[in-house]
Amino acid sequence: MKNLKKQDRKIYNAIQGELKRQQEGMELIASENYVSEAVLEALGSIFTNKYSEGYPGRRYYGGQEYTDVIESLAISRAKKLFRADHINVQPHSGAPANMIVYSALLEPGDKVLGMDLSHGGHLTHGHPVTLPAKIYKFIRYKTGRDGKIDYKELEKVAKKIKPKIILAGFSSYTRQLDYKKFSSIAKKVGAISMIDIAHIAGLIAGRAISNPVPYFDIVTTTTHKTLRGPRGGMIMCRKKFAKAIDKSVFPGFQGGPHMNNIAAKAVMLEEAL
Q: Are strands 86-88 and 233-237 parallel, antiparallel or unpaired?
A: antiparallel
Report CA-CA distances (Å) from 46 to 3, 67, 75: 15, 11, 20
180 an active-site residue? no
Q: Which of 12, 53, 116, 271 is catalytic?
A: 53
Catalytic residue among 220, 222, 223, 226: 222
Kindly give, in sequence order, each residue whose CB lies less than 8 Å from that of residue 77, ignoring residues fewer than 6 positions away: 266, 269, 270, 273
Active site residue 231: yes
> Looking at 77, 140, 164, 225, which residue is catalytic?
225
113-124 core/surface letters (b: 16 or more CB in 10 A; e: else) = bbbbbebbbbeb
DSSP letter (8 states) at residue 149 = B
How far apart, in whole angstroms, are the C-alpha atoms of residue 236 and residue 127? 23
Q: Given phi > 0 = left and psi -120 to 50 = alpha, else beta, which region is 98?
A: alpha
217 is catalytic: no
Which member of 111, 142, 181, 231 is catalytic?
A: 231
- Name the active-site residue from 51, 55, 66, 151: 51
Q: Say whether 3 sits in a helix, a strand or coil.
A: helix
Give the contacts of 236 (CB within 8 A, at least 6 positions apart).
78, 82, 84, 85, 86, 87, 213, 218, 219, 220, 221
Pairwise CA distance, residues 23 & 20, whole Å:
5
255 contact partners, CB below 8 Å, separation of at least 6:
53
Task: Assess whether 130 carries a catalytic annotation.
Answer: no
Task: Round to whole Å and give the CA distance between 170 and 65.
Answer: 38
3-state SS, residue 130: coil
What is the phi/psi pair of residue 64, to 5°? -105, 10
Annotated active-site residue in 71, 155, 196, 217: 196
Residues labelled catalytic:
51, 53, 196, 222, 225, 231
